[in-house]
């Protein structure tokens, strides 16, 4: 009998050791460690930019509320946009808290949060040279940011114009939008394609230099900006989304939109993601 009991005890012990430990989610790790690490491109006013040595902007104000709701400290990394999404998948940070345009390719690879704004593409020109329609960009030097949500939109427009007889004279890609704005002001390019809310703020700040013209809309285009988590971190994504929607419901989000853009935008709760999104 003793031999049998020892065998049963040994078998039970082995069985317990063999049971896999429940994996800790990123959200649980954040709460346990008391800090969230986020990746941001702080060269995208008025969403995220550096002022007096600190990251500020519309997105940063939202992020501060999310971090407060989590009850943790914030570690925010300022990085070039081109490395932010790959860095997220590599595990370099917990969340991308910068303005990421929604498109089908990204939606299949990343878990988007609720949108933070409607960011329809528009065309920025020099003062007095506004473009009345996308077709007016034929034969022009057009700029946007490399690897941004606007690059495929601009390339698609160039393809469509070329099929009609005349595409862009040249497409120039810059690592950050401020570089593209400088190129426009100096005459290096004729137009910059960016989101209308940001361009409206820029044109208001520099009315002697810039002017916003036509929107660029096409079928199947998603115009919202959101943040992103890894597909395995949907609980973190859902927490962030819940805070954004709570801010919209109680009016805090509209106050931030008025502060940074001078107007308000409705954030949809459905229909903003392509089919097959994470």
Percent residues over pLDDT 70 in the chain: 92
With bands split at pLDDT 50, 70 and 90, how would you rate the model's confidence at 139?
Answer: very high
| Lowest-confidence pick of 1-15, 78-92, 164-178, 188-202 | 1-15
The residue length of the chain stands at 278
With bands split at pLDDT 50, 70 and 90, how would you rate the model's confidence at 22?
Answer: low
pLDDT digits (tens, 9 = 90+) for 251-263: 999 999 999 999 8
Task: Tell me the DSSP string of 237-249.
Answer: HHHHHHHHHHHHH
Contact between residue 240 and residue 227 where contact means Cβ atoms under 8 Å apart: yes
Block residue for tokens 């460690």: 33
Answer yes or no: is pLDDT of 4 > 60: no
Per-residue model confidence (pLDDT) at position 222: 84
pLDDT digits (tens, 9 = 90+) for 168-226: 999 999 999 999 999 999 999 999 999 999 999 999 999 999 999 999 987 777 889 99
Per-residue model confidence (pLDDT) at position 217: 84
Mean pLDDT to the nearest integer, 61-83: 97
Answer yes or no: is pLDDT of 6 > 60: no
Block residue for tokens 């973190």: 236
Contact between residue 113 and residue 140 where contact means Cβ atoms under 8 Å apart: no
Answer yes or no: is pLDDT of 11 > 70: no
Per-residue model confidence (pLDDT) at position 212: 97
Answer yes or no: is pLDDT of 77 > 50: yes
Long-range CB contact pairs, 182-187, < 8 A, 24+: 183/143, 184/124, 184/125, 184/126, 184/143, 184/210, 185/126, 185/209, 185/210, 187/126
Answer yes or no: is pLDDT of 20 > 80: no
**CA-CA distance, 150 to 216, in Å (whole number)?**
10
Q: Which domains are assigned to the chain?
A: 26-118+225-261 (3.40.190.10), 121-215 (3.40.190.10)
Contact between residue 144 and residue 44 where contact means Cβ atoms under 8 Å apart: no
**CA-CA distance, 209 to 202, in Å (whole number)?**
10
Block residue for tokens 């057009």: 142
Answer yes or no: is pLDDT of 86 > 60: yes
Per-residue model confidence (pLDDT) at position 21: 52
Per-residue model confidence (pLDDT) at position 9: 46
- Nearest C-alpha neighbor of 107 from the set 271, 247, 268: 271
């Amino acid at each position: 009998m003793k031999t049998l009991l020892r065998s049963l005890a040994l078998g039970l012990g082995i069985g317990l050791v063999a049971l896999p430990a429940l994996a800790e989610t990123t959200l649980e790790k954040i709460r346990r460690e008391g800090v969230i690490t986020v990746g941001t491109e702080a060269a995208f006013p008025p969403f995220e930019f550096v002022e007096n040595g600190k990251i500020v902007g519309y997105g940063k104000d939202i992020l501060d509320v999310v971090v407060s709701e989590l009850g943790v400290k914030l570690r925010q990394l300022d990085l070039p946009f081109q490395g932010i999404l790959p860095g997220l998948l590599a595990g370099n940070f917990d969340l991308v808290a910068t303005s990421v345009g929604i498109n089908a390719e990204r939606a299949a690879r990343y878990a988007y949060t609720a949108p933070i704004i409607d960011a329809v593409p528009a065309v920025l020109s020099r003062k007095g040279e506004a473009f009345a329609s996308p077709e007016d960009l034929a034969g022009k030097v057009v700029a946007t940011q490399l690897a941004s949500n606007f690059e495929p939109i601009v390339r698609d427009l160039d393809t469509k114009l070329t099929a009609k007889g005349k595409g862009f004279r040249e497409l120039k890609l810059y690592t950050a939008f401020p570089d593209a704005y400088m190129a426009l002001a100096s005459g290096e390019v004729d137009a910059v394609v960016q989101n209308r809310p940001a361009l409206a703020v820029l044109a208001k700040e520099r009315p002697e230099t810039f002017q916003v013209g036509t929107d660029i809309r096409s079928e199947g285009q998603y115009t919202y900006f959101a943040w992103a988590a890894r597909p395995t971190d949907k609980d973190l994504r859902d927490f962030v989304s819940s805070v954004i929607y709570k801010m919209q419901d109680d009016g805090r989000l509209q106050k931030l939109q008025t502060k940074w853009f001078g107007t308000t935008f409705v954030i949809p709760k459905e229909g903003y993601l392509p089919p097959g999104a994470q």
